Structure 1
Amino acid sequence: MRNPRKPILVAALSVGLLLSAAAQAEPKLVSSTPADGSTVEAPAKVELRFSEKLQAQHSGAKIIMTEMAGMAHAEPMGVKARVSASSDPNVMLITPASPLTSGTYRIDWRAGGAEGQPAKGAVTFKVK
């Protein structure tokens, strides 16, 4: 005699595997240079490395100066920068238009991979 619950169990497992694969489909930030939370000399560029190849049309970033040295109450302000691909398809490069001055910076990024919605996140660092 056949187990009447077997088709339901197989269907439930299949749906679980599909949902698990979809959850893993978005790129994950693997590392950044400068590292999140670090204090560094002014970098010429910021590199974000992801777990998979990025799709340029679904990826981007912006630099925001969130704290300016000597100005405790300054409003966050955008920093002009160019976002580009690297020779490594898993890396996004953010190059400020001019050298970063002393202060705290946040990189707000979105990264689209081959499937799924773009992932979003932020990296923060301080410039001496």
Structure 2
Amino acid sequence: MRKYAFIAFTILTASLLPATAMAHPRLLSSSPAANASVAKPATITLGFSETLVAPLSGIELTMTGMPGMAKHGPVPISDFTTKVTGKVLTVKLARPLAAGTYVLKWHAVAADQHRIEGNFSFTVR
């Protein structure tokens, strides 16, 4: 009998939680945008659908190509800081990005504690 009471209590409690607590964050906007060609950015901004958990959210940035260098291998970019304010993750680069192609991999964690990941490319001219 206790087993059924516990199950009923768990289902009732879960149904009373706000729907946002069960949602996963989604990337809603980015600057630079996916597949965009931009002038040398010094800041990258990602906007999400949920408030993020700062220590668990971030990015990896890799230069994947450089003009005039056909055999340019991937170069990880690590000279940046990240800051999370509510639903926005801001990346402050130590210096503007050089001309080339980049892949930005992001990961975000919201109140549900599930890590969601994605990536997109952009070009700096």
TM range (shorter): 0.7 to 0.9
**Could you tell me which residue of structure 2 aligns to residue 3 of structure 1?**
none
The normalised TM-score by structure 2 is: 0.78
1:93, distance to aligned residue in structure 2 (A)? 0.7
For the pair 1:114 / 2:111, whether they are aligned, the reply is yes
Are 2:42 and 2:94, in contact at CA under 8 Å, matched by a contact in 1? no
Question: 2:69, 2:76 → 1: CA distance?
Answer: 16
Are 1:85 and 1:93, in contact at CA under 8 Å, matched by a contact in 2? yes
Matched-pair identity in %:
36
* Superposition misfits of 4+ residues, deviation over 4 angstroms: none
Count of aligned pairs = 109
**Could you tell me which residue of structure 1 aligns to residue 62 of structure 2?**
64
1:30, distance to aligned residue in structure 2 (A)? 0.3
1:123, distance to aligned residue in structure 2 (A)? 2.3
Task: Please point out which of 37, 43, 46 is paired with 2:44.
Answer: 46
> Structure 1, residues 37-94: CA drift from partner, whole Å, max 9, x if none?
00010112010000010001211112110111111111111112111123xx101011
Question: 2:81, 2:113 → 1: CA distance?
Answer: 25
| Runs of 5+ consecutive residues of structure 1 not aligned to the other structure | 1-13
| Runs of 5+ consecutive residues of structure 2 not aligned to the other structure | 1-10
**Could you tell me which residue of structure 2 aligns to residue 92 of structure 1?**
89
Supply the RMSD in Å over aligned alpha carbons.
2.2
Supply the AA of the counterpart residue of 2:96.
P
Supply the AA of the counterpart residue of 1:92.
L
**Could you tell me which residue of structure 1 aligns to residue 8 of structure 2?**
none
